[in-house]
Amino acid sequence: MYFADEPEHISVLRDVVRRFVATEMPPDQVRQWDRDHRFPPELFQKLAELGVCGVTIDEEYGGQGRDLVAAIAVIEELSRGGAFAAGPFIHAAFYGGMNISENGSEEQKRTLLPKLAAGEILFAYGLSEPDVGGDLASVTTTARRSEDGKHLILDGFKRWCTGADWADYIYCLVRSYAEAPRYQNLSFVLVPRDTPGMRVHPIEHANLRYTLSSDVIFEGAKIPAENIVGGEAGWNRGWRMLAGKALDVEKLEITAVAFGIAQAAVEEAWEYAQQRKQFGVPISAHQAVRHDLVEARTKLEACRAMLYRGAWLAQEGRPCSVETSMAKLFVADTGVEIALLCQRVMGAYGLAEGHDMERHVRDLLGMPIVGGSSNMQKNNIANGLGLKGAKS
Ligand SMILES: Cc1cc2nc3c(=O)[nH]c(=O)nc-3n(C[C@H](O)[C@H](O)[C@H](O)COP(=O)(O)OP(=O)(O)OC[C@H]3O[C@@H](n4cnc5c(N)ncnc54)[C@H](O)[C@@H]3O)c2cc1C
């Protein structure tokens, strides 16, 4: 693991992505996307042309070879410009590339991974439901086989399905065998966009407005049986897929978004404090403001160390469920502290149009909830470390 210089190929990649953000994501445009609350497909198209979407995919399936540290660096750099490119990148490289690489059948890998690596298709995540948040083993959306066995029929209700209106497939967690014990009755299926019997209703929300999140209602929605993730061998093995290696990495991807946005918040407050004058001096000359700024920067460095340690462990294939939960917990919660410190430095302008800070605050406030809440990470850590007293 490195503590000073990162590998050269990652520095080069960072520079490429940084230039992309500077050129393609000017602040006024980003603020307009945020107001519109819509997915900018043209931005993702340009990002895909850089060839970065295959960074989680093996070369034999058309990717650049799995490099999780590089993938996390891409998310970090994109997120400094907001979630507008980082979000869709995650839909391609992680929801799609990572999950199909880990869990897909050979045929699914051959068909889907080259398209995901090229950014030609995108996935959405269908886990949450109206009555199911952290307790994902309790999902109630069902998938049953058609009489001829060639199809699956889906009934149920998914909530917060980000990108359901444009994703090519929803990577959807369903209850596949109601009578089987908890954890053995779940499967993942790929639901194509515009499947008959599926309706999508957008939800307005304040954070991560790179696209809409949606309610998705399945009423006898019919999909081919080949769309069981992992093929027939994947039927009723959904929990293993969810709680396996892919989850460790999934925790890191949202952690990287939080870190990138927190970095943008610190940079904005740092710059602002040196421009804004009160009592005849830049506010950065007032000790209390200086202290807020260096406190934010110090917390940011701790976040960096937690995030990249987790990414390195995951890339090395070492056990890292505890470390990735610690990283998600620490960076998400610290990201909120950083957001509030930086917003305070900017006074009223930290909540006003014309600056990015108010968006950073909205985005960071949601981080301890999305992608597995801070409490759920604490539960994982306590269980992973064998702390007595856990429920079975
Ligand atoms: C902008 C946005 C985008 C999203 N995108 C997606 C998506 O694409 N796909 C998807 O499937 N979901 C998505 N989600 C949903 C997100 O993953 C959930 O909000 C998250 O998992 C938490 O679920 P919940 O909000 O229902 O909270 P709940 O699970 O109801 O929890 C509420 C509170 O209770 C606490 N709590 C619950 N159980 C325990 C426990 N056992 N121990 C201690 N504390 C507990 C939680 O920590 C939390 O503080 C998105 C959410 C948002 C806001």
pLDDT number for residue 173: 98
The atom number, within ligand 1, closest to the CA of 208 reads 1
Ligand 1 lined by 379 (C-beta under 6 Å)? yes
pLDDT of residue 247: 85
What's the whole-number mean pLDDT along residues 99-124?
98
Rounded (5°) CA angle 53-55-56: 100
pTM over 0.75: yes
Q: What is the pLDDT of residue 391?
A: 65
Is there a contact between 96 and 71 (Cβ–Cβ < 8 Å)?
A: no
Q: Quick one: pLDDT at residue 361? A: 98
pLDDT at 244: 80
pLDDT confidence of residue 261:
98
Q: Is 366 in the pocket of ligand 1 (CB under 6 A)?
A: yes
Distance between Cα 368 and ligand 1 center (Å): 9
State residue 178's pLDDT score. Answer: 83
Interatomic CA distance for residues 273 and 289, integer angstroms: 8
pLDDT in tens, 175-194: 999 889 999 999 999 999 99
Query: Whose alpha carbon is nearest atom 22 of ligand 1?
Result: 133
Q: What is the pLDDT of residue 57?
A: 97
Please, which pLDDT band fits residue 1 given cuts at 50, 70 and 90? Answer: low
- Substitution candidate for ligand 1 out of 34, 95, 128 with most atoms within 8 A of CB: 128
Q: Is 111 in the pocket of ligand 1 (CB under 6 A)?
A: no
Mean pLDDT of 187-209: 97
- Bridge partners of 162, per DSSP, are 213
**Which atom of ligand 1 approaches the CA of 162 most closely?**
8
Q: Is the CB of 162 under 6 A from ligand 1?
A: yes
User: Residue 5 — pLDDT band, cuts 50, 70, 90?
Assistant: confident
Q: Whose CA is nearest to atom 36 of ligand 1?
A: 375
Pick the atom of ligand 1 nearest to 366's CA: 53
Q: Is 370 in the pocket of ligand 1 (CB under 6 A)?
A: yes
Cα(124) to centroid of ligand 1, in Å? 16
Instruction: Indicate if ligand 1 lies below 6 Å from the C-beta of 130.
Output: no
Residue nearest to atom 48 of ligand 1 (CA): 373
Looking at residue 225, its pLDDT comes to 97
Please state, rounded to an integer, the average pLDDT across all residues of the chain. 96
From CA 10, how far away is CA 187, in angstroms rounded? 36
Question: Could you give the percent of the chain with pLDDT greater than 70?
Answer: 99
Is a pLDDT exceeding 60 seen at residue 392? Answer: no
CA of 22 to the centre of ligand 1 (A): 33
Q: Is 213 in the pocket of ligand 1 (CB under 6 A)?
A: yes
Per-residue pLDDT reduced to its tens digit, 348-384? 999 999 999 999 999 999 999 999 999 999 999 999 9
**pLDDT tens digits for 66-80?**
999 999 999 999 999
Per-residue confidence (pLDDT) for residue 256, from 0 to 100: 98
